[in-house]
Structure 1
């Protein structure tokens, strides 16, 4: 196993992490921003008002994009496991 292969595998792992986490983080970011704007406009300073909508949004994204995320992860793990014999030699 040479250093180029290790760097390529690490790069693919980081790219996969970004691809899988981006939908959830993006939606939670937008919901958090909207709730913060709402709190600033109405001057309501309640911590649960910021937490509950983000939690519901994250659950909704996991429900909708969960199968896609799982499929991407399974495909990546399958490719990684299949590459083990070629990288040992």
Structure 2
């Protein structure tokens, strides 16, 4: 086990998490921005107005991208579990 191997393993796991989280957070962020712009233009100051559309966008993204996200997460778990003997030095 070398430091480079551990860094590569950590880097792969980190970027997978960033990619999976950004798939959910970015559409929600964009929907919140659209709703905030609408609220500013119409002077509607209701805090709960953005909740339902953002929730629906998150559910839609998970329905569409869910299988791909599970595949990526499974690939990383397989890589990590296959690397256990290397990490402990067997």
TM-score when normalising by structure 2: 0.89
Shift of 1:9: 1.6
Unmatched runs of 5 consecutive residues or more in structure 1: none
Runs of 4+ aligned structure 1 residues displaced above 6 Å come to none
Shift of 1:84: 1.4
Distance 1:8 1:75 in 2: 15
Matching of residues 15-26 of structure 1 within 5 Å = 15-26=15-26
Give secondary structure in 1 for the equivalent of 2:64: helix
CA RMSD of aligned residues (A): 1.2
Aligned partner of 1:51 in structure 2 is 51
TM-score when normalising by structure 1: 0.90
Number of corresponding residues: 89
Unmatched runs of 5 consecutive residues or more in structure 2: none
